[in-house]
Amino acid sequence: MERYEIAIIGTGPAGLSAAITATIRNKKILLIGNALLSEKVEKAQVINNYLGLPSVTGKELQEAFLQHLKELDITITETKVNTIYALGDYFAIDCGDNNTYEATCVILATGLSVVKPFKGELENIGKGVSYCATCDAQFYKNKVAAVVGFSQEEESEAVFLSEMADKVLYFPMYKTDVSLGDNIEVIYGEKPQSIEKEEEKICLVTQQSKYPVDGIFLLRDSVAVQQLVPGLKLVDNLVEVDRQMQTNLKGLFACGDITGAPYQYIKSAGEGNVAALSAVSYLNKKK
């Protein structure tokens, strides 16, 4: 498998700045995120504090960032990262499109994490808790699975799973009538509280009931940072870094909102630059 020198996760100002610096330093990079960059850039009405661009709109800043990438021939791999595993000499990056990438260094620039995992969720990853139906549906042939869908886009994942599984229980966390296949039972108005392992089964516990199933799929738009990198040191749900943006895991750097306040474009871009230079220096020392 092709191994990248630096994988950068996130296409907000932090990740883009890291990608630009690493490219200028001739590193082989993989930039993972969204082709439209970050919603937090696109949706800003007027920005008054970005150096050299007074009163720029979010849309204009987005276009300027895209143009900068184009000029440096930087492409974006559009997918969602589910988990990054530190494997000693390199990192394995598991993605929602069923692809796994490898990189010697990783720069985490995924923005502020607002996801709070359910009680019992993290302990049961790989033991019945999954985040990707496309990746894991094959294990549910003739079985029963629960799917917690946080947005309408996740319905297609539930349908895909139902093609393998005997039955799917679908818990929509949004307010719309859901009409899916015959073997998908939609359960409205029940919010999951916790996840419990019970012998061969895994149980989704809601305020009203307990559902013993073979597997639970939690399909969120964003990924809890604890899930993203097992073993990563956090303080108050933020990634702990030193002034070189180095985390507690060697070769893994973090930058931008994910490392804490102030939550500003220019701080994120600045940290992205430092993280990329630190990654370059880490790679050079390894040679």
Work out whether 57 is an interface residue with ligand FAD (CB under 6 A). no
Q: Which is nearer to ligand FAD, 33 or 117 (CB)?
A: 33
Q: Which residues contact 266 (CB under 8 A, 6 or more apart)?
A: 13, 49, 50, 51
- Token pair belonging to 140: 């549910």
Q: Which is nearer to ligand FAD, 88 or 262 (CB)?
A: 262
Q: Which is nearer to ligand FAD, 184 or 255 (CB)?
A: 255
| Phi and psi at residue 102, to the nearest 5° | -120, 145
Q: Which of 47, 116, 103, 108 is nearest to 256 (CA)?
A: 108
* Cα dihedral sign, 62-60-270-285: positive
Q: Which alpha helices (DSSP H) does the chain contain, by range?
A: 13-24, 39-42, 58-71, 133-136, 155-162, 225-228, 265-286
Of 6, 8, 44, 204, the one binding ligand FAD (CB under 6 A) is: 44
Q: Which stretch binds ligand FAD (CB under 6 A): 124-132, 179-187, 205-213, 256-264?
A: 256-264
Instruction: State the minimum distance, in angstroms, from the CB of residue 203 to ligand FAD.
Output: 27
Work out whether 222 is an interface residue with ligand FAD (CB under 6 A). yes
Q: Which stretch binds ligand FAD (CB under 6 A): 21-29, 83-91, 100-108, 265-273?
A: 265-273
Here's the x/- map for ligand FAD, 93-132, by CB under 6 A: it reads as ----------------xxx---------------------
Of 6, 7, 8, 13, the one binding ligand FAD (CB under 6 A) is: 13
Q: How many residues bind ligand FAD (CB under 6 A)?
A: 32
CB 124 within 8 A of CB 195: yes
